[in-house]
Structure 1
């Protein structure tokens, strides 16, 4: 293992907080990773890591060396990326909501893998907040305005939002003509993972947004469950148009108040700010922006 490999290993151990996880990420045995760091510490003459039974943390020297390693590794990747013949390579770890992945990414994934045959891909599926550094994830796709999380956010697309309900629900409660007609209506309450509060519905009225919170017999924190409850007639819901395109075509859901749409939702790719954007991550984000530009509705 050369010096650059040891730097990559140390960075991954610190980011993952674990020799076992870092070794698995890099395709090494735990014993090989442990011995490589021990040799690095011996060569430098300093202790880089504090080890406990549950976690690994950097010492002050280890943190300083880690920051230098990041800068050196970034320069190396930049130098290699400057040559057209240098193909992006390595394991790319992304996290994206499952429905979005199935609708946009998976149908065209073979294009990406054929274009970049030296990249392997791991796809995490979830709505939860992800600690990219600690969990070893390279980038996530997330919708909505992003709070200051220490991540760099690159805009991928802007998604058109719609309000909808099932035909059975509308037969019972009536089709509203304006947001003023929503008295007596229900919504499926969606609880924010950030605040724990039920999010209000949004409607554009006279060029401005109006927020309306309707009664909810059922609240959820998962978008798949919310969509199914809408189909079963539990109330109004709002989501990006692509999520309900098949329902609109089949008639299982009907768009409500199309003249007063919710605000469109930004979709962003997020990656750690303390890392140089690796070529494999850069080409993936560029590819995702392209397919959303072609397929996003």
Structure 2
């Protein structure tokens, strides 16, 4: 875990759930609790995937990890809004107990079941702590088992799931919809295609399972210098048209108006936040 910062990810997920055998849960809590503090003090953004509520372990997990450097709790296998509400209440308790600002720690509900995906709108609105959410459509995982789809690299079988959840997330005003990860560690071209599709749908990032995936996904989701130049050119064309009393103009072969200008300005703001040169 101490090697995490070298990978240049936006955030790091420490796991207490499926990757930890039951006899080691207690020791893992102590270790992850220490790493949340250590990595957080080093300036890293830290997320912890806790055990699902049905295990009875979630409260103990939260008690061990809640602190000033915990950014977000990844809550697995969320079935409905009540799961989010329950974790919100637990977080509030531990924040108060430890003298922290109440509401500072976010929740990322993992929608890995048919019930969770069906109720994504209600889940997205269950708590103001929900800042990240998306649909998972990985190969052979919990979602595939619950829905019954047969995974393909093209992702057509999960297109509806990912689109449905994305619309619910956006409608709820959640700023950072996150797509599920790519399971094949070595197929970086497949990863690139999957990330590009997620970006085209409207997702802002992906959960990843391996450090080798980070540079590929960062490249896909970061606006390119060419895209920045396009957005700036469109804005300039619209400003010139408006100065002449117009409201629409042909730019790059397309008819554009104020709606396209607003989109371009929003994309430039994202590029600035990411530090893209020229934005």
Q: Taking structure 2 as the reference length, what is the TM-score of the superposition?
A: 0.23
Task: Identify the structure with the greater strand proportion.
Answer: 1
Task: Identify the structure with the greater helix proportion.
Answer: 2
Please say which structure displays the higher CA radius of gyration: 1
